[in-house]
Structure 1
Amino acid sequence: MSASGQLPLGELRPLEGRRLWADIAGNGEPAVVFLPGAGGFGLDLLRVHELVARTTTSVIYDRAGTGWSDDIDLPRPMDEVIDELRQLLRLLGVEPPHLLVGHSLGGLYVQRHAQRFPDEVAAMLLLDPAHEDWDLYMPEALKMANQPATTDMPELPATFIAQYHSAFASLFGAFPDPLRELLVDRHFHAERLRNGFREGANVLAMFDQLRSAGPRPDVPLIILSGAASDATQTLLSSTEVVRQQIEASRRLYDDMAAKTPRGEHRVLPDASHLTIPLARPDAVQRAVRDLLGRAAAA
């Protein structure tokens, strides 16, 4: 890593008048493309990216307004995000169909991508994904429709930010020191914190769009969900609220998998919503490998 803090991998690619950060590794088809959650960066998925690249082509990237990509006004329409990704993949020379991996909000983008371009999706891997039926499963306090409608991040006390920073930094303990420090600092950059909040501010409109657009294509699907909690969650919510969300999510994901001809839900007892790709990159790699096999056999 250079003294200027330049990232040790990946590069900025010019696209539609702005630059998107991306890294491509490995060789093979179908390529695996990772979509982080709201506030997440492509580099959060580095450990999984390195594992998957041993088997096939792997792509991590930052959406505009996130990570090391150029800024943009947020939130954005869901289809704009998907069109941006398709253009980037063409620029990278990564041909469809792809195995799309979406974490949290990234799972919404994956599902919408599959609705719009079913022939470009070989399989889907969803990591604790958002879904338009979320509110049907959650208790009242956790329903998206009951949350304040705002794109402004609330003011947080300095003591809370310090506690959150410490808890967040510990999640990246397996990353090499220079990269870990750079990654955590970027996450806590004031604009990136705000953008993480803003990116999902239109989630109810996304839910409506997915709901009205019909079923997903019949492709192999695995959902990985975390049954544990971490310090970042319990700083924001009580232990009981986190427990209720985990239980409700499990019911939602069981039903999502059951309604999909080739769907499967796997629960990870030692990972949380945020930490699935950090604590269990092996489980993500295994799911990718299984989906590649199922797609090849189809």
Structure 2
Amino acid sequence: MRQFVIRWVKRLAIAGLILVMVLVGAGAIYEQTARSQAAKDYPPPGKLVDIGGRKIHLNCEGSGTPIVILEAGADTSGSALWEPVQKQIARFTRVCSYDRAGIMWSDPAKGQRDSLAVTEDLHKVLRAANERPPYVLVGASMGGPYVMTFTKNYREEVAGMVLADASHPEQTKRLAEATGVPESNPIPFVFRALAAVVWTGLPRLVLPDAEVPELPAETAKAITAYQPTSLKGAFAEAAAFEDSLREAGTLLTLGNLPLAVISRGKPWSAFTEAEQKASGFTQEQFNRAEAAWASMQAEEVALSSNSTQRILKDSSHVVQLERPDAIIDAIKEVVNKVVHAEAAR
């Protein structure tokens, strides 16, 4: 009897293993089919530029100088979130958005993806595409430290800067001190696990569709279609988050470089009850965090002797979607300063 039970247990184990292999194989086929379909349904709006064995998606529109360069925050959406801003900027000067390595249409890259690697890629792709300086750099959220690092390394090419609720080099420590909430892992285990098994098709099945009502429906669908393959690239940047902030912090001054800072200012009362709960903060913690954030934003304004700041009482962090008009106005302001300075020479 004991031998009979053992034989059946072995058979069930083998059958279970075979079933798992079949499901994984089917998932892998599903994932490859979905990727092919995404490439067919949602081709890149710009061009894929070779920077030495891999390609970066660069989307440029309009004409004129200086060229406005849009640097996105840290997520899987890449250049797509800039669409409401880019279309308007293209009416008065040339403007380029792009996807960092492994995000949306851009090929992945090996090695650490800190701000030095990110800005080196940006410099290479602009050169390869013959998009010549001077540049006005626009950084949203984590895009802020990236444009700061670019400016430090290629100062002679940068004519102006716009920071849209940009991250601050000391934000992790100072926000933790303000709220009493300890620093946490920027990449929860479940998301790291999903990124590791993206080839099985599982992330494509379980991740929710991108809900971005401020964007055209087709753009939101493209973000959803490329979201699983963008996970690894986004997480590679998140793993180097603190290194990138520290590097940006070594830029101590912009001199008299034209700078416009757009800062969030939406009060606790303006959020829905669901949004307040989702924040994980009490009202008191939120207010302390926002006070610390406002102080850090003021420090970014002080980077240049030729700066302005606008605080938006009706916007939270993703300003390019909630108040694209404010970013457009700030870009116009900086571009005009650059043009006038050039004319005066």
**1:293 paired to 2:336:** yes
Q: Secondary structure at the match of 1:38?
A: coil
Matched with 2:143 is 106
Aligned equivalents of 1:29 and 1:143: distance in 2? 46
Task: Indicate if the aligned counterparts of 2:161 and 2:259 stay in contact, CA closer than 8 A.
Answer: yes
Shift in Å at residue 119 of structure 1? Answer: 1.3
Q: In the TM superposition, what are the counterparts of 1:44-123 in structure 2 within 5 Å? A: 44-73=81-110, 75-123=112-160
Amino-acid identity (%): 25
Picking from 218, 221, 235, the partner of 2:256 is 218
Letter of the structure 1 residue corresponding to residue 265 of structure 2: A
**CA deviation map 1:65-107 (0-9, x unaligned):** 2121112246413222111111111122211110000111111
**Distance change >3 Å, CA 185–CA 6, structure 1 → 2:** closer
Matched with 1:271 is 315
Matched with 2:278 is 235
Larger Rg: 2
Task: Indicate if the aligned counterparts of 1:38 and 1:199 stay in contact, CA closer than 8 A.
Answer: yes
**CA deviation map 1:37-81 (0-9, x unaligned):** 111411110110000000000101001121211122464132221
Shift in Å at residue 260 of structure 1? Answer: 2.2
Picking from 69, 93, 96, the partner of 1:33 is 69
Aligned equivalents of 2:59 and 2:178: distance in 1? 39
Aligned equivalents of 2:89 and 2:177: distance in 1? 39
Matched with 2:296 is 252
Letter of the structure 2 residue corresponding to residue 38 of structure 1: A
**1:147 paired to 2:167:** no
Task: Indicate if the aligned counterparts of 2:66 and 2:339 stay in contact, CA closer than 8 A.
Answer: no
Letter of the structure 1 residue corresponding to residue 280 of structure 2: S
Q: Secondary structure at the match of 1:138?
A: helix
Please, what TM-score do these two structures have when normalized by structure 2? 0.73
Shift in Å at residue 19 of structure 1? Answer: 1.2
Q: Secondary structure at the match of 2:333?
A: helix
Shift in Å at residue 209 of structure 1? Answer: 2.6
Aligned equivalents of 1:75 and 1:177: distance in 2? 34
Please, what TM-score do these two structures have when normalized by structure 1? 0.84
Task: Indicate if the aligned counterparts of 1:219 and 1:295 stay in contact, CA closer than 8 A.
Answer: no
Aligned equivalents of 2:281 and 2:162: distance in 1? 29
Gaps of 5+ in 2: 1-36, 195-203
Shift in Å at residue 184 of structure 1? Answer: 3.3
Aligned equivalents of 1:174 and 1:212: distance in 2? 35
The Cα RMSD (Å) is: 3.2
Task: Indicate if the aligned counterparts of 1:115 and 1:217 stay in contact, CA closer than 8 A.
Answer: no
Aligned equivalents of 2:248 and 2:153: distance in 1? 10
Q: Secondary structure at the match of 2:124?
A: helix
Shift in Å at residue 195 of structure 1? Answer: 3.4
Q: Secondary structure at the match of 1:33?
A: strand
Gaps of 5+ in 1: none
**1:19 paired to 2:55:** yes
**Distance change >3 Å, CA 251–CA 182, structure 1 → 2:** same
Aligned equivalents of 1:235 and 1:34: distance in 2? 29
Letter of the structure 1 residue corresponding to residue 96 of structure 2: V
Task: Indicate if the aligned counterparts of 1:234 and 1:242 stay in contact, CA closer than 8 A.
Answer: no
Task: Indicate if the aligned counterparts of 1:227 and 1:268 stay in contact, CA closer than 8 A.
Answer: yes
- Give the stretch that moved more between structures: 70-79 or 220-229: 70-79
